[in-house]
Amino acid sequence: MSESHVAYNYQNQVSPVNKSLLDQSIEAGQELIDRIDAVVENLINYAGNRDEIASAITDLRKASACYRREVIKILREEKKDV
């Protein structure tokens, strides 16, 4: 389970209220990240030594990691406000 999953699950356990737009956005974003990660793994398996595909895969991974960091940052800020 990724760090963002853990942070999000913890947030839901701490304050089980109706899902805010932020919660819905985070869930949708996490689903997107999970799908991107699956595609990345498949591309790695099929890419072999093709540099362009490998570069695109690296870019996807960087985008995924960036999104995760932003989700965690938002959750931490929201937790401080609660």
Q: So what's the pLDDT on residue 24?
A: 77
User: How large is the angle between the packed helices 51-81 and 3-14, nearest 10 degrees?
Assistant: 20
Where does 19-81 have alpha helices with state H? 21-47, 51-81
- As a whole number of angstroms, the distance between CA 62 and CA 26 comes to 18
| Cβ atoms 29, 81 nearer than 8 A | no
Verdict on whether the full-model pTM lies above 0.85: no
Q: So what's the pLDDT on residue 16?
A: 52
C-alpha dist (Å) from residue 65 to 13, 32, 35, 58, 71: 24, 12, 13, 11, 10
Once rounded to an integer, what is the mean pLDDT over residues 11-16?
Answer: 57
In this structure, what token pair is assigned to residue 53?
A: 């595909």
User: pLDDT tens digit string along 14-71?
Assistant: 555 567 777 777 888 788 888 888 887 777 777 666 777 777 778 888 888 888 888 8
Q: So what's the pLDDT on residue 13?
A: 60
Confidence of residue 5 (pLDDT cuts 50, 70, 90): low
